[in-house]
Amino acid sequence: MTGEWQRLHRRTLWLTALYLLGFAVVAGVPTALLLLQGGVDAWLVSLVVGGGAVVLVSHGVLIDWVRWWYTEYRITEERVERRFTFVFRTHKSVPRERVRTVDVNATIVHRLLGLASVRIGTGQQDMFGKVSVTFDPLGRELADALRAELLHKGHEGPEVELARFDRAWIRYAPLSVTTLALGAGAFGLVMQVTDWFNLQVAVVDFVRDLFRELPLIPLLGVILAIGLVLGVIGSLGLWVELWWDFRLTRQSGNLLVRRGLLTRRSLTLEERRLRGIEVIEPLGARLAGGARLDAVASGFTVSIDERRNDPRTLLPVVPRQLALRVAADILGEPVVPTEAASLTPHPPAARRRRLLWAVGAAVGVALVLAALGLLLVEALLHLAWISAVVLVPAAVWIGLDAYRALGHGLAGEYLVSRRGSVRRSTVALRRDGVIGWVVSSSPLQRRAGLVTLTATTAANHGGYKIPDAGQAQALTFADEAVPDLIAPFLETEQGVGAAPRRPARQPTP
């Protein structure tokens, strides 16, 4: 890098024009159809919709030209800087030694134009949010060169591959809640599109005539099957878009994830920020032997709009043994701590609580459906008893499974905690990454003699919970995991059922 002020790539104007043109088509076609159905002349519809598209694209390109002309950036030996000097002046600057991530993303439009977006992060936050600098767009070659220079400081070492895309992984894609959500969303989309074309009544009548001879329960089964098929198709498409051509590599102290079909993502994570790993097993994937791998690292707070570019996710749902092997490689351990730890089970009161939650939720759904059936449609009464017959046994199984999952333990320098059934999570957190403990209990927990122990850390969500542990059990474990950190609390609780004070653990010579 020259260290001189430069502008972003001039093809940003084409990028903006193509995006706005696509938006104009998506919004303009339904609008034109509605106007034509309302009796408006075709020439007037063309004038309104076409003229609106021209105004939108031209004004958008003009605004982007102003942004491009008055935005400059430079990379010096000490700093990464960007400034904007039109009407209001802004100047953003971060020290190069603070750079922790350089994420390179390219949508399909970026790729057609040979461009990419570069986001340079520091892993820190200020009062306005994350401290980061974004250059959008740059030429693809320049973006890759910038990532290499900033992350490797001019000393790019060999790249070691830890995992590579396997088409067999796609079998786990439909085994998630996303499938059900996409199936329900597909019905809503069909109804919305038919409403645009004024065909909603005709479609409903057609479906009613098609299945007129079917009894209620088979009809519900057909509807659920159609929704499931649509959800499976949607989940497969979403998975391919997010994880196609996936690669996880290690290079010069950084983990690099490359993935994506239409939008190509290149996400980085500095290894010295790692505080552990989290093995996540959604219920469907777990029954099929799959697991996902996330990093536990400092400096992460991911907003909703950034989740698709979250560098914490190191592996999608893959065969569980592969996830464990990669986790061990990342941590530099012969056996991943989540498997090496011997987990301590929780008291029977924790089992009762999980059964009550699960069965209560199932009964609640059945009661709501029954009430709606009495008030609105009698057919919902049938759905209510069907739900009770299906959901209550499933809830009992989930409650017992959630209790069997509860556990905590130690494995060398790692604290291990496991919880959950529908979403089972096993986290291995470095003990030196624990900066505090929070011991909390609700009135119902206190009656049962249980507490929730939270290990606070600067990584990810700020803390990892060990729910519904026995009071003495939790305090003893906290003191053993990080000696002396919870000592004042132990001394305060001495004599009221807390764990006895242990001698501090001596450091290993």
Integer Cα distance of 123 and 268 in angstroms: 11
Tokens of 503: 């001698």
Integer Cα distance of 497 and 502 in angstroms: 15
Integer Cα distance of 464 and 425 in angstroms: 10
- Show the low-confidence residues of the chain (pLDDT under 50): 127-128, 303-305, 494-509
- Same domain, yes or no: 172 and 276: yes
How much is the pLDDT for 490? 64
CA distances from 503 to 36, 258, 437, 439, 476 (A): 83, 48, 18, 21, 11
The phi and psi torsions of 154 (rounded to 5 degrees) equal 80, 0
**Does residue 312 belong to any structural domain of this protein?**
yes
**Does residue 293 belong to any structural domain of this protein?**
yes
The CB density around residue 74, as the number of other CB atoms within 10 Å, is 16
Residues 109, 114, 120, 121: is their CA dihedral positive or negative?
positive
Crossing angle between the packed helical segments 379-405 and 348-375, to the nearest 10 degrees: 170
> Contact, 401 vs 410, CB < 8 A?
no
Residues 412, 414, 419, 423: is their CA dihedral positive or negative?
negative
Tokens of 357: 């939650």
CA distances from 489 to 448, 475, 486 (A): 21, 9, 6
Integer Cα distance of 178 and 166 in angstroms: 21
**Does residue 263 belong to any structural domain of this protein?**
no
Number of domain units in the chain: 4
> Contact, 328 vs 385, CB < 8 A?
no
> Contact, 340 vs 411, CB < 8 A?
yes
**Does residue 203 belong to any structural domain of this protein?**
yes
User: Which of 344, 381, 338 lies closest to 478, judged by CA?
Assistant: 344
Geometric angle at alpha carbon 111, from 109 and 113, rounded to 5° = 75
**Does residue 507 belong to any structural domain of this protein?**
yes
User: Which of 357, 350, 371 lies closest to 469, judged by CA?
Assistant: 350
Tokens of 388: 């009770």
Geometric angle at alpha carbon 274, from 268 and 279, rounded to 5° = 95
**CATH number for the domain including 447?**
2.30.29
Integer Cα distance of 148 and 144 in angstroms: 6
- Same domain, yes or no: 377 and 473: no
- Same domain, yes or no: 449 and 396: no
- Same domain, yes or no: 374 and 326: no
**In angstroms, how far apart are the furthest CA atoms of the chain?**
88
- Same domain, yes or no: 96 and 179: no
- Same domain, yes or no: 282 and 369: no
User: Which of 237, 260, 236 lies closest to 103, judged by CA?
Assistant: 260
* Contacts for 441 with CB less than 8 Å, ≥ 6 apart: 450, 451, 452, 471
Question: What 3-state DSSP class applies to 491?
Answer: helix
Residue type, 393: P
How much is the pLDDT for 341? 94
Tokens of 492: 């305060």
How much is the pLDDT for 505? 42
Geometric angle at alpha carbon 397, from 429 and 360, rounded to 5° = 95
End-to-end CA distance of the chain: 47
Integer Cα distance of 466 and 472 in angstroms: 13
How much is the pLDDT for 198? 72
- Same domain, yes or no: 229 and 145: no
- Same domain, yes or no: 485 and 397: no
- Same domain, yes or no: 173 and 299: yes
- Same domain, yes or no: 365 and 376: yes
DSSP state of 315: E
pLDDT, tens only, 319-369:
999 999 999 999 999 999 999 999 999 999 999 999 999 999 999 999 998
- Same domain, yes or no: 282 and 395: no
Pairing of strands 313-319, 290-297: antiparallel
DSSP state of 344: B
Integer Cα distance of 497 and 316 in angstroms: 44
Pairing of strands 101-106, 88-95: unpaired
Question: What 3-state DSSP class applies to 458?
Answer: coil
Integer Cα distance of 278 and 416 in angstroms: 10
**Does residue 111 belong to any structural domain of this protein?**
no
What string of DSSP letters covers 204-256?
Answer: HHHHHHHTTTS-HHHHHHHHHHHHHHHHHHHHHHHHHHHHTT-EEEEETTEEE
How much is the pLDDT for 303? 46
**Does residue 143 belong to any structural domain of this protein?**
yes
Integer Cα distance of 18 and 113 in angstroms: 10
Residues 308, 311, 316, 320: is their CA dihedral positive or negative?
negative
Residue 354 domain boundaries: 348-404
CA distances from 464 to 48, 281, 336, 401, 479 (A): 56, 17, 18, 20, 16
pLDDT, tens only, 70-120:
999 999 989 999 999 988 899 999 999 888 888 999 999 999 999 999 999
- Same domain, yes or no: 294 and 315: yes
Tokens of 124: 């820190």
**Does residue 429 belong to any structural domain of this protein?**
yes
